[in-house]
Amino acid sequence: MAAVGGVPGGMSARATMLPEKATHRQTRTFNQQLVLRALHDHSPLSRADLARLTGLTRTSVGDLVRTLIDSGLLEEIGRGRSSGGKSPILLRVAPDGRHVIGLDLGGVQFGAGVVNLHGEVLRSIRQPLEGRDGNAAVELVLQLVEILLADVRPPLLGIGVGVPGVIDTSTGTVRWSVSLDWADLRLGPLLEQRFGVPVVVANDSHAAALAELTFFRRPRPNNLIVIKVARGVGAGIILNGELFQGDGHGAGELGHISVGSATAPCRCGGKGCLETLASMSALVDAAGPIEPSVIDDSSLVAALHAGVPGIRRIVLDAARELGIAVGWMTGVLNVRHVLLVGPVAAFGDAWLSEVRHFARSSVLPMLAQDTQIEFGNVHDDVVVLGASALLMEQQLGLALVR
Ligand SMILES: [Zn+2]
């Protein structure tokens, strides 16, 4: 088994704030995370830059950097420009200093990938679910991890998993995932026991939000909503730099809010949920009777771009329903950055404009004016990346705004 490799000598829990009576070890972990975090966000930096950015002394920085280089987390990448004296040595987070296995259990295929500390997906695989749920779906998760473990280079930092549904991230428990037929499944502990590395489990849309925040948004916004539209619809909400999970871990369950006069039964047991109107699965179901070639996401996108009569209307109607829901979210939270991720990105500008139009017209004009609604940066691997980001945050303190 690959060695577990968090911050050297560090604790697994992230050091959000230093306790008042911090032990020497807690202080050291906290300071190591400060250095890593500064380099993650602003690479490359010299030791003097690091001292300036973190407020630590030059001596402390020198000492921390040496330990982090020895543990493989940092690397020197040559010399920068001199501002008078000797030109400074530049540092960055070593991209392959640790690897993380990320899993996306939110689609009709399970996805898995090996991610490095720069957020690059080094290898990614997909396996169709083919109707599997319950224990059979757990087996598929184990198989995917086994496949990737066979060629992941150590040290492995851990495993991050994004699962649709209500997830208690603090205990790694899937409280409820309707599509996978999992209830109170202790997936995190199960994987930790099996593979001997730290594991984090999060809602897939929450993970998507972390991917955007950790790897793609500079400067990092304090507040951000990422809406994933795939097999289901869900939102990840970053508030004041932290992932907001709600009192019962169910924040952002946008797909199961019932909308308008819709009455179609939803797989959650409810009726008229947004998901029954605006998810990719709902669209595939609606388009099938009009155009028999539509059997999945990609054939639906192909039919839209080929101008098959009736398909455009179905897609734009779905965009309208989603747009209204996006408007409600921005009206309640006044978050200015909204990103849309998932296979819907393939619908392109016509779909996006419709979402924007209805989002803006269902909220106070003053709030609508300031809100940017865009496609996110990655779509296929966004959950794999985000689940990995959460693991990096827990083990190394890399991800969140603080
Ligand atoms: Zn529902």
- pLDDT digits 0-9 by tens, 356-392: 999 999 999 888 888 999 999 877 899 999 999 999 9
Cα 275 to Cα 267: distance, rounded to the nearest angstrom = 9
Q: For 247-275, how does the pLDDT look when each residue is reduced to its tens digit (9 = 90+)?
A: 999 999 999 999 877 788 998 889 999 99
> Alpha helix locations (H) across 150-293?
187-195, 204-211, 275-278, 280-287
Cα 164 to Cα 383: distance, rounded to the nearest angstrom = 10
List the one residue out of 349, 285, 273 whose CA is nearest residue 316: 349
The rounded Å distance from CA 180 to ligand 1 centre is: 14
Q: For 290-317, how does the pLDDT look when each residue is reduced to its tens digit (9 = 90+)?
A: 999 999 999 999 999 999 999 999 999 9
The rounded Å distance from CA 40 to ligand 1 centre is: 39
Neighbour-count burial for 155-180, b at 16+ CB within 10 Å, e otherwise = bbbbbbbbbbbbbbbeebbbbbbbbb
The rounded Å distance from CA 342 to ligand 1 centre is: 19
Q: How many CB atoms lie within 10 A of CB 12?
A: 12
Please check whether residue 315 is in contact with residue 348, taking contact to mean a CB–CB distance below 8 angstroms: no
Most confident of 37-46, 183-192, 289-298: 183-192
- The end-to-end CA distance of the chain, in Å, is 33
Strand pairing class (224-229; 233-239): antiparallel
List the one residue out of 160, 172, 213, 202 whose CA is nearest residue 37: 213
pLDDT at 399: 64
Please check whether residue 148 is in contact with residue 113, taking contact to mean a CB–CB distance below 8 angstroms: yes
Task: Dig out the tokens for 230 from the structure.
Answer: 């795939």
Neighbour-count burial for 292-329, b at 16+ CB within 10 Å, e otherwise = eebeebebbbbbbeeebeebbebbbebbbbbbbbbbbb
Q: For 228-253, how does the pLDDT look when each residue is reduced to its tens digit (9 = 90+)?
A: 999 899 999 999 988 999 999 999 99
| pLDDT of 12 above 60 | no
Cα 56 to Cα 225: distance, rounded to the nearest angstrom = 33
Q: How many CB atoms lie within 10 A of CB 21?
A: 6
| Unique residue bearing structure tokens 């951000």 | 224
The rounded Å distance from CA 26 to ligand 1 centre is: 44
At residue 333 the predicted structure's pLDDT band, cuts being 50, 70 and 90, is very high
Please check whether residue 207 is in contact with residue 107, taking contact to mean a CB–CB distance below 8 angstroms: no
The rounded Å distance from CA 272 to ligand 1 centre is: 7
The rounded Å distance from CA 53 to ligand 1 centre is: 47
Single pTM value for the model: 0.90
The rounded Å distance from CA 17 to ligand 1 centre is: 38
Residues with Cβ–ion distance below 5 A, ligand 1: 256, 266, 268, 270, 273
The rounded Å distance from CA 320 to ligand 1 centre is: 18
The rounded Å distance from CA 153 to ligand 1 centre is: 41
The rounded Å distance from CA 85 to ligand 1 centre is: 64
Q: 335 — phi, psi (to 5°)?
A: -95, 130
The rounded Å distance from CA 78 to ligand 1 centre is: 54
Q: Mean pLDDT lowest for which of 4-18, 29-43, 288-302?
A: 4-18
